Chain A
Amino acid sequence: MTKHETVSFREAQSRYKGIFAWIFSTDHKRIGLLYLYSIIIFFFTGVILGAAMKLELLAPGKTVMDAATYNAIFTLHGVIMIFLVVIPGLPAIFGNFMLPIMIGAKDVAFPRLNLLSWWIYVIGAIIALSSLFMSGGPPDTGWTFYAPYAFKTNTNMLPAVIGAFILGFSSILTGINFIVTIHRMRAPGMTWFKMPLFPWTLYGTGWIQILATPIVGITLLMIVGERIFSIGFFDPALGGDPILYQHLFWIYSHPAVYIMILPAMGAISEIIPTFANKSIFGYKVIVISTLAIAFVGYFVWGHHMFTSGMSGTALYTFSLLTFIVAIPSAIKVFNWVGTLHKASIQLETPFFWAASFLFVFMIGGLSGLALGALATNVHLHDTAFVVAHFHFIVFGGVGFAFMGAIHYWFPKIWGRMYNSKLATSGWIIFFIGFCTLYLPMFFLGVSGMPRRYYDYVERFHGPNIVSTIGSWVLILGLVIIVYNLIRSAYKGEKASKNPWGGRTLEWSVDSPPTLENFEEIPVVTRGPYDYRKKTEA
């Protein structure tokens, strides 16, 4: 028996020492953690920018910053949160860490490519953020870089656009890696329909990453060409059509929402059966709905452009498809609720996150239907309602699932338990803060407050104060959660192999896992959520 099989991946020795043993490691678990640490840094940058915006909106008129700064800040907040945090978030962190273990493999199919994708991510991030330190300042177009303003503005567009382009490669490489891993490296006996749901969602996500990311890549290149060579594709003065830019941008960026939310749904599908001690309700339906979301989600991009001046036929088609894509998402919610029905539920922190995920995801999803309907969209387009809607989905949906996932897999990753009471109180405060922050925005949007302005008229003052206070509460909750997790990673009591009673393969290996995950590759005979008979362990 070699040393590899007994020592955890955190202590395993390599030819590199110190930090180099991490940044040059091809171990999927270390790469997952590299992503985690880098993403957390960017996440907090984004949170600070978001809090600054809320502070500015505390009162009408100039509160703490002028209009130009506000424009730059909401652009940076969007770019950081979308491209650097949420898109790589669940797939790159938990996908890298958990996917090989959950399907019974020793690593991903292309470990070196995996490390390369992290390096590309870091390089892209540095380039994207370098605009902050250049004269002219960061871009002020919003994260969508809409033409023709994107090549007319005097701010530093190029670093942000090129950075986003490079980040796309990182995303594509991760997608390729995961799909090949799932196709080729499942443990013997693990047929497609014996695969846990989190890998399934990563599979769907991988396809979107491969097939949608290049479209935004080429679009961003066109913006670069537009700025440097004035090729005129999106410039009305040269015969271009700015709406075509919106088409191309959203052909990627709408499916990108599913890159974010699918793995989040996957994580929830892992947490709920574990804490319900019950086999998941309608496993195959969840799988099929995952693939259906990935597929139909590719054709709904136009619902971001209802007021742009598209043809009527396109409007009806996109609206119809938007309603169709809501169906598989709703099916999943029914499945999760069905799993909880008559279950003996273990009330632990990850479960609270999962349950609150259902709550905020429902609000986000249903408000999405209000926006997907043509008539209401005209009224609500570009109002605070939209901001509230996508924060309920992206921050509420993905963020809550992320928090659930990190509390769920924490014992596996760090081999220690966290303080459950502190974690739960952090959740309550965060949840209250979240609702206080974003619920008023629905009312503001319906009553007509536009988004992306640093100023507003006096009658919007009240809800804005509530919203800003909510942002403070949310940050307080966040600080408690992060403090608890960091402290527990060093000082928490040692975790057993399977503290929650999960049935998927990652709970059969050591906490934290050894370098090669499994001493020998397991042979899978049962479904992933088989709670009928007790495991041998």
Chain B
Amino acid sequence: MSIQLHRDDDASKLGMWLFIFTELLLFAGMFIVYGVYRYLNPVAFHLAASELSITAGTINTIILLISSATIAMASSALRLKNKQLTIILLLSTLFMAFMFMTNKYFEWKGKFGHGIFPGSDDLLRLGHGDTLFYGLYFFMTGLHALHIVVGFILISVVCYRVNNNTLTNNNPVLLDNTGLYWHLVDLIWIFLFPLFYLIP
């Protein structure tokens, strides 16, 4: 029943970009909410932000940046027919993703330990600005973490397929598109980091 269409890598790439636009707009919706509430509660946001660990945030930023570079280099390695290096680069990307999540886990756990989570009594006592800040913090970094998990699965599939030679320099588009997705995850974090950890 299905028709054999010729493979069109440019179409796949365009499709992936359109999907990335969708993701960008998804996060844009949240950035609008962030912008409005930051505008309405400047002081509370400032104080709440200083409670987050800049060190943890910076480490996670650098981890994600490195992982972005490694997956981008994996695309080049695959085209240079260097299978071993491709796999090493992909595995290090996976390792970085894992490190990011570990770091995130301890960060969240610390906040939960202080009784700060959406709907908690402690948070309600802190006031409206803090409730909104931490609500946004958990919602946005949570959704971002979900994207990391999805990316992790995608990269694992790519890694597996490079290993059993079903993904080679003849059909690199799956690796390229996974790379694009992973860069998107990085791109969003690049904005999340200053908005939650840095802006004084």
Given contacts A180-B14, A239-B41, A218 and B29 within 8 Å (CB-CB): yes
Q: Nearest chain-A residue to B27 (Cβ)?
A: A218
Given contacts A215-B25, A222-B139, A109 and B118 within 8 Å (CB-CB): no
Instruction: Check A180 against B18 for contact (C-beta < 8 Å).
Output: yes
Interface segment, one of B49-57, B64-72, B126-134, B167-175: B126-134
Partner of B29, one of A112, A176, A215: A215
Q: Which of B110-167 contact A (CB under 8 A)?
A: 117-119, 124, 127-129, 131-132, 135-136, 138-139, 143
Given contacts A210-B21, A240-B132, A248-B32, A229 and B119 within 8 Å (CB-CB): yes
Chain B hits for A179, CB < 8 A: 14, 18
Q: Nearest chain-B residue to A248 (Cβ)?
A: B29
Instruction: Check A244 against B36 for contact (C-beta < 8 Å).
Output: yes
Interface segment, one of A19-27, A72-80, A413-421: A19-27
Q: Nearest chain-A residue to B8 (Cβ)?
A: A184
Given contacts A184-B10, A218-B29, A238-B128, A27 and B1 within 8 Å (CB-CB): yes
Partner of A15, one of B1, B3, B139: B1
Q: Which of B92-119 contact A (CB under 8 A)?
A: 117-119
Instruction: Check B19 against A25 for contact (C-beta < 8 Å).
Output: no
Instruction: Check B11 against A184 for contact (C-beta < 8 Å).
Output: yes
Chain B hits for A13, CB < 8 A: 1
Q: Does A14 contact B (CB under 8 A)?
A: yes
Complex Cα distance, B27 from A50, in Å, reads: 36
Instruction: Check B11 against A180 for contact (C-beta < 8 Å).
Output: yes
Instruction: Check B23 against A239 for contact (C-beta < 8 Å).
Output: no
Instruction: Check B14 against A183 for contact (C-beta < 8 Å).
Output: yes
Instruction: Check A16 against B1 for contact (C-beta < 8 Å).
Output: yes
Q: Does A107 contact B (CB under 8 A)?
A: yes
Instruction: Check B131 against A238 for contact (C-beta < 8 Å).
Output: yes
Q: Does B187 contact A (CB under 8 A)?
A: no
Partner of A225, one of B26, B118, B129: B118
Q: What distance in Å separates the Cβ of B70 from its nearest Cβ neighbour in chain A?
A: 28
Complex Cα distance, B4 from A107, in Å, reads: 10
Q: Does A232 contact B (CB under 8 A)?
A: yes
Complex Cα distance, B119 from A233, in Å, reads: 11
Q: Does A61 contact B (CB under 8 A)?
A: no
Complex Cα distance, B41 from A413, in Å, reads: 58
Q: Nearest chain-A residue to B124 (Cβ)?
A: A238
Q: Does B15 contact A (CB under 8 A)?
A: yes
Complex Cα distance, B76 from A266, in Å, reads: 44
Determine the interface band of chain A, counting residues with CB < 8 A from chain B: 35 or more
Q: Does A214 contact B (CB under 8 A)?
A: yes
Instruction: Give a binary string over A206-244; 1 marks a CB under 8 Å from any B CB, 0 the rest.
Output: 000011111101110110010001111100001111001
Complex Cα distance, B138 from A241, in Å, reads: 18
Complex Cα distance, B135 from A305, in Å, reads: 26
Q: Nearest chain-B residue to A212 (Cβ)?
A: B25
Q: Does A111 contact B (CB under 8 A)?
A: yes
Q: Does B199 contact A (CB under 8 A)?
A: no
Instruction: Check B11 against A239 for contact (C-beta < 8 Å).
Output: no
Instruction: Check B3 against A239 for contact (C-beta < 8 Å).
Output: no
Q: Nearest chain-A residue to B132 (Cβ)?
A: A239
DSSP class of A's interface residues: helix, strand, loop or mixed? helix
Given contacts A210-B21, A231-B135, A239-B132, A111 and B11 within 8 Å (CB-CB): no
Given contacts A26-B2, A110-B15, A239-B129, A214 and B22 within 8 Å (CB-CB): yes
Complex Cα distance, B14 from A210, in Å, reads: 13
Q: What distance in Å separates the Cβ of A308 from its nearest Cβ neighbour in chain B?
A: 14
Q: Does B47 contact A (CB under 8 A)?
A: no
Q: What distance in Å separates the Cβ of B148 from its nearest Cβ neighbour in chain A?
A: 17
Q: Does A503 contact B (CB under 8 A)?
A: no
Q: Does A515 contact B (CB under 8 A)?
A: yes
Chain A hits for B139, CB < 8 A: 222, 225, 231, 233
Partner of A214, one of B23, B117, B128, B135: B23
Q: Nearest chain-A residue to B30 (Cβ)?
A: A218
Q: What distance in Å separates the Cβ of A303 from its nearest Cβ neighbour in chain B?
A: 18
Q: Nearest chain-A residue to B40 (Cβ)?
A: A241
Q: Does B28 contact A (CB under 8 A)?
A: yes
Q: Does A423 contact B (CB under 8 A)?
A: no
Instruction: Check B3 against A107 for contact (C-beta < 8 Å).
Output: yes
Q: Does A12 contact B (CB under 8 A)?
A: yes
Q: What distance in Å separates the Cβ of B7 from its nearest Cβ neighbour in chain A?
A: 11
Q: What distance in Å separates the Cβ of A299 from its nearest Cβ neighbour in chain B?
A: 14
Chain A hits for B25, CB < 8 A: 210-212, 214-215
Q: Which of B2, B14, B124, B127: most chain A Cβ within 10 A? A: B2
Complex Cα distance, B27 from A241, in Å, reads: 19
Q: Does A389 contact B (CB under 8 A)?
A: no
Partner of A218, one of B14, B26, B135: B26
Instruction: Check B3 against A515 for contact (C-beta < 8 Å).
Output: yes
Q: Nearest chain-A residue to B22 (Cβ)?
A: A214
Q: Nearest chain-A residue to B19 (Cβ)?
A: A176
Q: Which of A180, A221, A222: most chain B Cβ within 10 A? A: A180
Instruction: Check B5 against A232 for contact (C-beta < 8 Å).
Output: no
Chain A hits for B28, CB < 8 A: 214-215
Q: Does B80 contact A (CB under 8 A)?
A: no
Q: Does B33 contact A (CB under 8 A)?
A: yes
Instruction: Check B11 against A25 for contact (C-beta < 8 Å).
Output: no
Complex Cα distance, B134 from A233, in Å, reads: 10
Chain A residues close to B by CB (< 8 Å) = 12-16, 21, 25-27, 106-107, 109-113, 172, 175-177, 179-180, 183-185, 210-215, 217-219, 221-222, 225, 229-233, 238-241, 244, 247-248, 251, 515-516
Further pairs besides A21-B1, A516-B3: 16, Cβ < 8 Å: A16-B1, A109-B15, A111-B5, A172-B22, A176-B19, A177-B15, A179-B14, A210-B21, A212-B25, A214-B26, A221-B143, A222-B139, A229-B138, A232-B131, A240-B132, A248-B32
15 A-B residue pairings within 8 Å (CB atoms): A15-B1, A26-B1, A106-B5, A111-B3, A180-B11, A211-B22, A214-B26, A225-B135, A225-B139, A230-B119, A231-B135, A233-B139, A238-B128, A239-B129, A241-B40
The 6 closest A-B pairs by CB, nearest first: A239-B128, A14-B1, A231-B135, A214-B26, A218-B29, A229-B118
